[in-house]
């Protein structure tokens, strides 16, 4: 007995999503650290401020500087209260390196670090998705 295989063609409309609410919560964490330039920080081509030279907002000494982890995290460096170009400094957990040696001993340096790692998005109301219309053509 021969096998008869029916062949059908069908067309369908694309499903449509409507509504839905996504809630994004951003909880930035900003920390500030303070140091004063000493003679041993100034090198031949750059100034290196070790993490242990900084204190935090509570005037407590620190051992490590924060790491920039999230894509939108950033840090600012202020020398004598003046914001510096980001390209002139390098932040590592062990130190802050400034691309200058033209600093006077006792000059205050403020490091400000903003982290957005605490950002989260939640689907608070799911969207309504329509079923496609399917038409079978013979």
| Residues 6-36 pLDDT 10s | 788 888 888 888 888 888 888 888 999 999 9
| Assigned token pair, 56 | 């935090």
Confidence band of 111 (pLDDT split at 50, 70, 90): very high
Q: How high does pLDDT run on average in the chain?
A: 91
| Residues 87-108 pLDDT 10s | 999 999 999 999 998 999 999 9
- Rounded-to-integer distance, Cα 43 and Cα 18, Å: 61
The residues, ordered by sequence, that sit 6+ positions from 28 with a Cβ below 8 Å of its Cβ are 114, 115, 116, 118
The pLDDT of residue 123 is: 84
pLDDT at 137 over 90: no
pTM as predicted: 0.71
Lowest mean pLDDT among 70-74, 83-87, 88-92: 70-74
pLDDT at 117 over 90: no
In the chain, where are the structural domains located?
24-122
If 0-12 CB within 10 Å is exposed, 13-18 middle and 19+ buried, where does residue 124 land?
exposed
| Assigned token pair, 136 | 């079978």
Find out whether 78 and 112 touch, Cβ atoms under 8 Å.
yes
Find out whether 66 and 31 touch, Cβ atoms under 8 Å.
yes
CATH architecture of 24-122: Beta Barrel (2.40)
The pLDDT of residue 106 is: 97
Find out whether 98 and 89 touch, Cβ atoms under 8 Å.
yes
């Amino acid at each position: 007995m021969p096998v008869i295989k029916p062949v059908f063609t069908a067309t369908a409309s694309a499903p449509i999503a409507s509504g839905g609410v996504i809630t994004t919560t951003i909880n930035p964490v900003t920390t500030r650290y303070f140091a004063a330039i000493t003679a041993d920080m100034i090198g031949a081509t750059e100034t290196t401020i070790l993490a242990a030279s900084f204190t935090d907002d509570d005037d407590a000494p620190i051992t490590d500087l924060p790491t920039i982890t999230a894509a939108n995290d950033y840090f600012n460096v202020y020398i004598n209260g003046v914001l510096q170009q980001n390209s002139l400094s390098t932040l590592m957990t062990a130190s802050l390196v400034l691309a200058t040696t033209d600093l006077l001993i006792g000059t205050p340096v403020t490091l400000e670090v903003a982290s957005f790692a605490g950002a989260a998005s939640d689907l608070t109301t799911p969207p309504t998705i329509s079923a496609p219309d399917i038409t079978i053509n013979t």
